[in-house]
Amino acid sequence: MQFPTFVFVLSAVLALSGLESVSADELLPAAMDSPGEHELLVTNYQAIIEKLEVEQGAYGSGLSEPLLDMGKAYYQAGLRLEALQLFKRSMHISRVNAGLYSLAQEPMLRGIIGIYKDQSNWADVTAAYDRIYAIYTNTYGGNGLEILPVLKEIREWHITAYLRQPEDGFGHLFRADTIARSSIDLVSRNFGDNDMRLVALLESLIITQFYLAQQKDDIGNPRSGVSFGHSPNTEINSRKKLLADRAFSNGKNAYRKIMQIMEADPSMTILDNAEVYAELGDWHALFDKRGAAKTLYKEALAILENDPDANTLKETLFGTPKLLPAFSGMSTASSEDDPSVKVRLRVTKMGFPRDIEFMEENSENKNYGMPSIRRSIRSFRFRPRFIDGEAVSAETTLTIKR
């Protein structure tokens, strides 16, 4: 099937909670007031390091921390390559003294990750995250709850890497899918099948399924992103097809599980429960299952009837057309620095865009990229507006990156 080809590049999943939270900047001191201050700091670190090398040798355990601190100072001064070498040396000394899987390496690895992200060196970012994963699993075991935050961070990294290079990113999706399932299993075994912590994990699994479904259009592409060892392309394509074919049902089952969890939680509001039904309707709409989507939208409306303020809540969920996918953490808004175009269009009662009109009549470059944007908009899907329990045609506007 044809998916919305433009939706998932609208600066969307990069805004997921925590996606860009790990950077060398977090490890660094406040900016230096002057170059002289930086030089003095580095000189002091060099003196400490030279003294320790004399006392302890080139691999003395006391060297790791001042090397890390000097790397932070170099990073703060914009000397990324020098900082990288210091982080690596600090990590090597830590491994020699504390062991290959010591948690003491984590600050160095996070500094390294920050530099590789600055360099857009996605392969080495992935390798560093793999190293953090190995450290945590060796320290806490594969079933230790302590690894959950790291699993979340690594899963989100793989989604980020896929979005930056979707044509080469199947391996990243495969890993994100595997990690999401492992996290769900870990929480279920420790806290039960109806624990609210599962909701965010299930939502992340749904996002992964959305992108995996698009892999069906990429069968035969020899580029596969993260390698699966020496597997031939036929095996990779077979894996792509299998995961793509299962994506819709996997996403649907994840939404059903979220419904079960929320309905068992007395703190959930009527709007909370109705919203999940509406989102499951959106999921069906994305896969062009319009009849089932309409049924689920009406179920959401029926749930809202139980609230004294039903009309207001109906307006919240169904008062205007909503561009899909509308997963938690995703946004169609462009930043102020991004070149963008405003579009007015009509959304039919089936959720299809019609009568597309660009609104930037006074722009000098108003025609730049417009044909491709128009083609992309035609592939969009929307949650339609509902009035008195029925879907209706309605106008809406969008701001879209060029």
Q: Phi/psi at 386 (nearest 5 deg)?
A: -120, 135
Count the neighbouring beta carbons within 10 Å of the beta carbon of residue 368. Answer: 13
Q: What is the pLDDT of residue 215?
A: 86
Q: What is the pLDDT of residue 62?
A: 82
Q: What is the pLDDT of residue 315?
A: 96
* Distance (Å, whole) CA 384 – CA 293: 10
Nearest to 397 by CA among 356, 336, 349, 351: 356
Strand order in the sheet with 340-347: 353-358, 340-347, 394-401
CB-count burial class (<10 Å; 0-12, 13-18, 19+) for 36: exposed
Beta bridge partners of 401: 340
Q: Is 232 helix (H, G, I), strand (E, B) or coil?
A: coil
User: In which element (H, E) is residue 340 found?
Assistant: strand 340-347
Q: Which residues contact 340 (CB under 8 A, 6 or more apart)?
A: 334, 399, 400, 401, 402
Q: What is the pLDDT of residue 40?
A: 64
* Ordered structural domains, the chain, with CATH: 31-140 (1.25.40.10), 154-268 (no CATH)
* Distance (Å, whole) CA 258 – CA 184: 12
- pLDDT tens string for the chain (402 positions)? 555 543 333 333 233 223 333 333 444 444 445 556 666 666 677 777 777 766 777 777 888 888 898 899 889 888 899 899 999 999 999 999 999 999 999 999 999 999 999 999 999 999 999 999 999 999 998 888 999 999 999 999 999 999 888 777 889 999 999 999 999 999 999 999 999 999 999 999 999 999 999 887 666 554 444 444 444 567 778 888 889 999 999 999 999 999 999 999 999 999 999 999 999 999 999 999 999 999 999 999 999 999 999 999 999 999 999 999 876 444 444 445 556 788 999 999 999 999 999 886 545 555 666 788 888 899 899 999 999 999 999 999 998 876
CB 311 within 8 A of CB 364: no
Angle of CA points 51, 57, 61, to nearest 5°: 90
DSSP string for residues in 301-318: HHHHTTSTTHHHHHHHHH
